[in-house]
Amino acid sequence: MQTFLAKARDPKNVEYLLAVNAGEAFSLPVDALSGWGRCALVQEGVTGPNSGYNAAAQASRGDILMTIADDYFPPDGWDEQIRAVIPDVGEEVVLDVDNSDGVARLLPFSILTRPYYQRYGYILYPAYHGFFGDNEFTEQARRDRVIRRARHIVFEHRHPDRGTAPMDAIYARQRSHFDEGKKLFRERKAKGFPKWPE
């Protein structure tokens, strides 16, 4: 969070919503709240990564939405770079940026305009816990022809699978949802990714 604040060109024009699992005793320190245009904690309905992204998106007010996790680190002026390639915030746009690990087939994380978010009413399909929600998001964005390449914007991804971070209990817990996410993705892909659960 502090890295994103420090590397933003105009943090007063950014809202930062931190999603934490419901029921966890957590509060944002006062010094973490300053510097942003708006900063808030979101917990209601949050049970894991994807529900956290969706809850934060629902509570957001901005024209451009961006999901981040604690293992992504931004380039200098990340906010200005994103705004420069999406001057048309009234259109449906999803950005394809670089996540520093050479994977071009999967959108590394979601950067989208509010109109595209409103098309579905969520960023990541709500039934996914963590894994494969981004796979569906990528395939939907391709199908909807809303992707705009911006691979010159590079976010560093520090992750155990990439050998750029150590494995810890949080990563291991998330890994336990891999098989269920893969199964759900295959089932939903076969049905053409319907918008809401049948």
Q: What CATH number should be reported for the domain holding residue 28?
A: 3.90.550
**Is the CB of residue 74 less than 8 Å from the CB of residue 7?**
yes
The answer to whether residue 196 is domain-embedded is: no
The answer to whether residue 197 is domain-embedded is: no
The answer to whether residue 195 is domain-embedded is: no
The answer to whether residue 98 is domain-embedded is: yes
**Is the CB of residue 105 less than 8 Å from the CB of residue 85?**
no
Domain containing 57 equals: 2-190
**pTM of the full structure:** 0.86
Tokens of 94: 């999803």
Partnered with residue 16 across adjacent β-strands are: 39
Q: How many domains does the structure of the chain reveal?
A: 1
**Is the CB of residue 63 less than 8 Å from the CB of residue 114?**
yes
Residue 163 CB: number of other CB atoms within 10 A? 9
The answer to whether residue 6 is domain-embedded is: yes
**Per-residue pLDDT tens over the stretch 57-98:** 999 999 999 999 888 899 999 999 999 999 999 999 999 998
The answer to whether residue 162 is domain-embedded is: yes
| pLDDT for res 3 | 93
Dihedral of the alpha carbons of 67, 69, 74, 77, in degrees to the nearest 10: 40
The pLDDT-based confidence of 111 (bands split at 50, 70, 90) is: very high
